[in-house]
Structure 1
């Protein structure tokens, strides 16, 4: 499923077996824990569990066919360097129905993916910088938690965790304590 593909088809009929749709969609959501390659598509499919249409069921079957052809995919665990690094991204106003942005980040311990998230932001961002800044903030929160976890697992991090962000304005905002004047507070 492409990120820009619209999943809302207004003149599509309701799917005749919504219970079946919900059952399969729920199983796909569970599977996405170990298959991050299907996480976005599973999330999109799950957004229509309350009233799935025939079009949504076609998307669900398409995802099942992809899974059948990629059974060997998964999360590889490899030995090596044990330093944390994170990549974050945001897609500004990507949902045309509500104009909300989608945030995503993933964190590696060495070469092994250990944490990831893709979520629609709760409010509408007024700019791509704001959307990226929110995504960066969520990634930092996750990194702080992960650093505490790996410390408990006796894998101390001797250097700061690198967080990769491709938005120069969001990077600049993250270094300023009172950038957002809307709240009139210093952070």
Structure 2
């Protein structure tokens, strides 16, 4: 992969156009090995959490298109090797959180994806990005579900810090 150009995003923005080649990948153990190694990287690189999860859902029967997506993630990592979570000393111990969701982002199930991050001072201490358990009827409902997950995480973190 050292001769390839880097990508600007870990996955293409429109995934429904990517699945053109449905032939099974000839070396599934190689695909599983690469995808399995990527599973630990989102600990310090939450920007690829969704992409790695998406690829790992295809480990059982990977196609040639899936391998192309895996190579796209590797190309993105090559171009953004200086990015990641950095821990810094801070006297500011305020808790700040951000949340967001997309409405019916999954084309198969029409479920939304929620995400949040929690910062203690300037350091990220918790984050999540996952598909919501049920279908939302509106974008407002999807946002409220994301806020509820964020509030639950904040409640847990504040109780841990108080203990």
Whether contact under 8 Å (2:21, 2:63) holds in the other structure is: no
Q: Indicate the SS of the match to 1:139.
A: helix
Q: Which residue of structure 1 lines up, in the alignment, with residue 110 of structure 2?
A: 99
Which residues of 2 match residues 157-176 of structure 1 at below 5 A?
Answer: none
Ranked by relative contact order (alpha carbons within 8 Å, sequence separation 6 or more), the top structure is 2
User: Tell me, what secondary structure is at the counterpart of 1:86?
Assistant: strand
TM-score by length of 1: 0.75
> Matches of 2:28 and 2:15 in 1, distance apart?
22
Determine which structure has more spread, i.e. the larger CA radius of gyration. 1
Whether the aligned pair in 2 keeps the contact of 1:35 and 1:75 (CA below 8 Å) is yes
Residue of structure 2 equivalent to 1:48 = 58
Instruction: Say if 1:4 and 1:94, in contact at 8 Å, map to a contact too.
Output: no
User: Aligned with 1:20: secondary structure?
Assistant: helix
Q: Deviations over 1:34-85 (max 9, x none)?
A: 1112112111111211221111101111211221232222211122311111
Q: Tell me: CA distance 1:2–1:62, structure 2 relative to 1, closer, same or farther (3 Å).
A: closer
**Aligned positions of 1:85-164 closer than 5 A:** 85-152=96-163
**CA separation in 2, counterparts of 1:141 and 1:125?**
19
| SS of match in other structure, 1:6 | helix
User: How many angstroms apart in 2 are the aligned matches of 1:127 and 1:145?
Assistant: 28
Cα distance in 2, alignment partners of residues 101 and 8 from structure 1: 20
2-structure distance, mates of 1:11, 1:58: 10
Aligned to 1:156: none
Runs of 4 or more consecutive aligned structure 1 residues displaced over 4 Å after TM superposition: none
CA drift at 1:11: 4.5
Write the mapping of 1:71-82 to structure 2, written as runs, cut at 5 A: 71-80=81-90, 81-82=92-93
Tell me if the contact between 2:100 and 2:115 (Cα under 8 Å) persists in the aligned partners: yes
Q: Work out whether residues 119 and 125 of structure 2, in 8 Å CA contact, stay in contact via their aligned partners in 1.
A: yes
**Residues 115 and 146 of structure 2 are in contact (CA less than 8 Å); yes or no, is this contact kept in structure 1?**
yes
CA distance in 1, matches of 2:13, 2:78: 21
RMSD across aligned positions (CA): 1.7
In structure 2, distance between residues paired with 1:8 and 1:59? 8
Q: Which runs of 5+ in 2 are unaligned?
A: 1-10
Partner of 2:78: 68
